[in-house]
């Protein structure tokens, strides 16, 4: 049986008056109820998603993850990261270690879907396999870039 974790993040302590965890909490609770799971750890922090380095709760959660036995559930991919390149590297590192990432609002970038697509690619000829693998990589990078660009727009507005 896999261990389930959840992670919530709002941008900064200063924005706490504007941002709340309530939407994330409701989505994560609903997901747990619908899938008959219990979270063994709920990470919450108010820090920018620009980097993984300054996120103490994320680092604590990561230390708790067990290869091939852990699932981390987020409301959406922007709660995981707001940086494209390092976000992609972290995503791939976790997936390669058998850690599943579930993004409730972004199911096509959740690792079970990505793994399914890559599994289909393995059984194809070189042209189809390369094409599908490249499409999967592009899907991840485009979605991660979208949330990074969104962060940049938000910062410029503030």
Q: Match 């409701």 to its residue by tokens.
A: 26
**What are the backbone angles phi and psi of residue 46, rounded to the nearest 5°?**
-115, 90
Question: Across the chain, which distance is largest between two alpha carbons, in Å?
Answer: 54
Confidence of residue 62 (pLDDT cuts 50, 70, 90): very high
- Closest by CA to 145, choosing from 79, 78, 75, is 78
**What are the backbone angles phi and psi of residue 132, rounded to the nearest 5°?**
-70, -40
What pLDDT does 87 receive? 94
Q: Match 């380095």 to its residue by tokens.
A: 53
pTM across the whole model: 0.90
What does pLDDT average to over the chain? 91
């Amino acid at each position: 049986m896999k261990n389930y974790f959840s992670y919530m993040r709002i941008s900064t302590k200063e924005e706490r008056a504007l941002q709340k965890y309530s939407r994330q909490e409701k989505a994560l609770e609903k997901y747990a109820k619908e899938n008959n799971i219990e979270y063994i750890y709920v990470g919450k922090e108010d820090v920018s998603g620009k980097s993984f380095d300054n996120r103490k709760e994320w680092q604590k959660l990561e230390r708790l993850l067990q290869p091939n036995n852990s699932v981390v559930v987020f409301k959406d991919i922007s709660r995981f990261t707001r940086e494209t390149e390092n976000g992609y590297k972290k995503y791939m590192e976790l997936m390669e270690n058998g850690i599943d990432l579930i993004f409730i609002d972004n199911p096509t970038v959740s690792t079970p879907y990505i793994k399914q697509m890559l599994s289909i690619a393995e059984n194809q000829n070189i042209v189809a396999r390369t094409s599908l693998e490249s499409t999967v990589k592009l899907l991840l990078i485009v979605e991660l870039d979208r949330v990074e660009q969104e962060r940049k727009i938000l910062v410029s507005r503030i």
